[in-house]
Amino acid sequence: MWDFSINRALGLMMRTLPFLLLRIAVYFGVAVAYVLMTGVGAGVGWGIGGFGDDGFRAGATFWGGVAGFTIVGAVMYFLREYILYVVKAGHIAVLVELLDGKPMPEGRSQIAHARKEVTQRFAQTSVLFAVDQLIKGVLRAVTGLVRGLMTVLPIPGARQLVSVIHAFLRIAVGFVDEVILAYAIRTRSTNAWESARTGLVLYGQNYKPMLKNAAWLALFVYGLSFVVFLIMLAPAGLAVYMIPGAWSAGGMIFALLFAWSVKVALLEPFAITCMMQVYFKTIEGQTPDPAWDAKLGNLSAKFRKLKEKAAVGGETPEPAGPIPVGGAIN
């Protein structure tokens, strides 16, 4: 079935409680901000709508809600690099050390310690964000390669089946980009671009077990997210009821928002912790395969760009030889 330990992942997550609380505060705060600003916008629109008939008021209320929702979305767009740098990468840095059996400071100092580790690997938020975007592009290319291999199988209805599988793999691979970032942190690389390149080659040459486990985790995470969505329909409906003019489109959207906040605050770090277990255990003792390096270079322009950046991005990262066996990872 899968190659990760659910109990171990949950245990590691509990040892990073300060980061879990930070994630909850950030992502639930975002969801609440969406609800509040949508309500404020709808309220303003409802007030303006008082100068016209019922149809005008309904339209003004709706567009006021859309405006409030859009404002929060714009703010989140500009904060996305900061959240990746402080929240996601910081949490990964702590999990990497725990997976390797290293002692970690407890309490609030855990967050400060993680920030120091991330800063040493990625001096600026823009560098981390750019590396992450290139990693995602290469991973999408790998799933495209898998789709291409499957289309040649002599299976009736293979094309339709492969389209469904490809869409599913695109979702599943969303857990992998942060695992590649974890590799850069674990190897203590001084060249983030080169460590990402090496991590991607190691992923490519082990894509079968990685995609298998990512698929299982996608089922877990999105299945639980759907359950949360159903549970959140009731409080979301109450929030809509409190908005002037009963912004009818809001119930479904708010429920999706709250389900999203649970997913990114709690379910995604669980999935990433599981994938880190699989990845680090799988690549133990391996060296990057030049054939896969060449294959990714031919397959993805983003990988070629990553190699170009790596060539001028700093010192060559460790390890130069086989990945050291980490006895604490099991």
Across 82-86, 140-144, 190-194, which has the greatest mean pLDDT?
Answer: 190-194
Mean pLDDT of the chain: 81
For position 320, what pLDDT does the model report?
A: 38
User: Mean of the pLDDT values across residues 304-308?
Assistant: 91
Cα(287)–Cα(202) distance, rounded to whole angstroms? Answer: 7
Identity of residue 317: P
How far does CA 77 lie from the centroid of its chain? 15
The model's pLDDT over 221-250, given as tens digits with 9 standing for 90+, comes to 989 999 998 888 877 777 666 665 555 556
Percentage of the chain lying above the pLDDT 70 cut: 81
Tell me the pLDDT tens digit for each residue of 74-97: 988 888 777 878 888 889 999 999
Dihedral class, residue 121 (left if φ above 0, else alpha if ψ from -120 to 50, else beta): alpha
DSSP 52: S
Rg (CA), the chain: 22
Q: For 166-173, what is the mean pLDDT?
A: 67
CA distance 280 to 91: 17
Read off the pLDDT band of 44 (50, 70, 90): confident
Summarised one tens digit per residue, pLDDT across range 248-296 is: 556 677 788 888 899 999 999 999 999 999 999 999 989 999 999 999 9
* pLDDT at residue 314 tops 80: no
Instruction: Pick 152 or 129 by higher pLDDT.
Output: 129
> Where does residue 109 fall: left (phi above 0), alpha (psi -120 to 50 degrees), or beta otherwise?
alpha
